[in-house]
Structure 1
């Protein structure tokens, strides 16, 4: 209960209705397909480490509403993965990822997370250095996702949403943040609504071995959406999967572009690094700017029992405008990882990755599902 008490009341007012919505969606999934739903549930301890948080301990749960293999939706089970992680530095992370495939070809995806922990600010742009940084405290809650409808279970279109509240604390007088004074230093509400299109021909949403995934999205932030910051975001995400030597080998590829226009708060800028792209950059705040382009490739191999391994590599760049895009500023990373299938009859993995970057850094990542 000590960790829950760290959540300020203003965040609890936001989190409570989201939990209620997810509960109703779970009930709806069960009611709509009473004869088909076969729930799978698993709980595992979480142990992780990062320079910002030191050692972290917690618990992760996996709840999968598995469709009957004879139905056309067997490759798209409903998934909920909540987690609670607490660090030895009194830092709290509470999050839940959810994927719901409902009746009438409706698809609801949502990621929600509350964090209260120190973060680093390195500045903005490609000229930042790992040695020039400022430690501050960032307390925030974010929920983002989409509600889309399809006529053929492959092509989806619908609404996108992004809701966030940030509280920036412990800014040092005459420090890097105070000196550069980036947009967003006062924190506040960031709320965006938009439209999205998805083409999803993957043979499974948890661990695809063939098919493509293409997502095009546009989000607008401003007074009309309740946001204290006014800007727009445009994204393009292309992924492709194919088997290699046999059914146990998969080659995965991703190309992503994320573009922002307007007064973007520094904590919402495009980034390189983290658990989903350019793994190996020690802190995802090291390279940030309005725009980012990156590509990554990953070879995935089942080894034995429920154990697998991967090799990955990636290149990318952040930039303020296309006139500043320069191939010489590209960053590169590579690495190796291990996989553990948490459920015997579901291809849902927990992964541990070790990445290295061309700037001499390395980083560990512990996460749920594949990076892409």
Structure 2
């Protein structure tokens, strides 16, 4: 199956290469790059761009794809309304992986409604290190699968910056296979044959951020609880509580920002392995492979000092970041001696000038190695 995925991915790469080469031959790529990098449209102007892009993460290596990116203010009102973003990204990687991601953080006029969510499809193998805070870093299993997730919050402004509403989470993982050549007797986790989970619940959000892609001052707090039940169409019964708190403060100058985040996931019941809380990836504990540590309970925090941009440049900036996190089967089992650290830094380039959105490149360090990430918008 892995070879089949790899061949399909290579075919996609060839198609992308032919398309990009054709456009380049007509000089369109150069014109597009100039238009994006020298955008002088007003902040109120809605921006819809479709362009070839590239990224990098330890889970996928170098990836290329097509990104459709929409930035807008409801009714073009930049004083009352917050910046909304909708991103559609499809990609293939040099490891033969492919997938698509749709993310939205959209506000209606006067910020009365807030739609926050993501939809993701991916078909590629990922490494599975096991469950728990002390899993070995050597000989991980290779898990092949097709994975779909749709998570959406529909929130209504209650008072000032407080929002409340409903939340739904659908996840499906199918065609799952574990490659355990070096560990033939390892017990497979719950959900190893595939699973379908549907969760319904409620969310409470406080949000006074102005630009979700690059917050210079503000706060974000989310508390969400989801119940997964067979009556909803779920194969497993469990409950999930998600907490996420973020604070952003300018330090002396508008271009210098301190960002802090504390996040927790707390579950009880029978949870399939792909739904467990994770540490690692491009957003939380950068430097660790996504899912290097996983369990029913996750507690992590991180801080980042940002120069957006540097004082001597109009478009180049940088960051320094550090984080601590751990996982455990129960809240009572969370232990300080299993805390893992991650730290690093990155550079920034002001990609959309009027919308104040940066392209980021981060290098994260951990006790197990490093991770490099290239993406659009800040990690949190």
* TM-score higher than 0.5: yes
Of 341, 357, 362, which residue of structure 2 is paired with 1:353?
A: 362
Aligned match of 2:91? 85
Asked if the contact 1:123/1:180 (under 8 Å) is kept, the reply is no
Aligned match of 1:289? 295
Aligned match of 1:330? 339
Cα distance, 1:70 vs structure 2? 5.5
1:100-249 to structure 2, matched below 5 A, reads 100-103=106-109, 105-172=112-179, 176=183, 179-249=186-256
The runs of 4+ residues in structure 1 deviating greater than 6 Å are none
Whole-Å Cα distance in 2 between the matches of residues 51 and 70 of structure 1?
A: 37
Q: Is residue 341 of structure 1 aligned with residue 350 of structure 2?
A: yes
Give the match's secondary structure for 2:253: coil
Of 362, 365, 374, which residue of structure 2 is paired with 1:366?
A: 374
Whole-Å Cα distance in 2 between the matches of residues 291 and 177 of structure 1?
A: 28
Whole-Å Cα distance in 1 between the matches of residues 250 and 201 of structure 2?
A: 35
1:31-110 to structure 2, matched below 5 A, reads 38-67=45-74, 68-69=76-77, 71-73=79-81, 76-103=82-109, 105-110=112-117
1:80–1:203: structure 2 CA closer, same or farther, 3 Å change rule?
closer
Whole-Å Cα distance in 2 between the matches of residues 154 and 60 of structure 1?
A: 31
Cα distance, 1:363 vs structure 2? 0.3
Whole-Å Cα distance in 2 between the matches of residues 158 and 311 of structure 1?
A: 35
Whole-Å Cα distance in 1 between the matches of residues 57 and 220 of structure 2?
A: 31
Deviations 1:217-249 (A, max 9, x none): 101111122111111100111111110131110
Asked if the contact 2:205/2:220 (under 8 Å) is kept, the reply is yes
Of the two structures, which has the highest relative contact order with CA contacts closer than 8 Å and spacing of 6 or more? Answer: 2
State which drifts further: 336-345 or 122-131: 336-345
State which drifts further: 179-188 or 214-223: 179-188
1:293-332 to structure 2, matched below 5 A, reads 293-301=299-307, 302-303=309-310, 304-332=313-341
Cα distance, 1:261 vs structure 2? 0.5
Whole-Å Cα distance in 1 between the matches of residues 224 and 340 of structure 2?
A: 25
Whole-Å Cα distance in 1 between the matches of residues 281 and 334 of structure 2?
A: 22
Whole-Å Cα distance in 1 between the matches of residues 277 and 186 of structure 2?
A: 21
Deviations 1:10-64 (A, max 9, x none): xxxxxxxxxxxxxxxxxxxxxxxxxx97311334433334454343221223211
Aligned match of 1:33? none
Give the match's secondary structure for 1:323: helix
Asked if the contact 1:121/1:176 (under 8 Å) is kept, the reply is no
TM-score by structure 1 length? 0.84
Cα distance, 1:370 vs structure 2? 1.3
Give the match's secondary structure for 1:333: strand
TM-score by structure 2 length? 0.83
Cα distance, 1:342 vs structure 2? 2.5
Asked if the contact 1:136/1:168 (under 8 Å) is kept, the reply is no
Cα distance, 1:280 vs structure 2? 1.0
Whole-Å Cα distance in 2 between the matches of residues 272 and 197 of structure 1?
A: 24
- The root-mean-square deviation of aligned C-alpha atoms, in Å, is 2.2
Structure 2: which 5+ runs fail to align? 1-7, 13-42
Give the match's secondary structure for 1:224: helix
Cα distance, 1:200 vs structure 2? 1.1
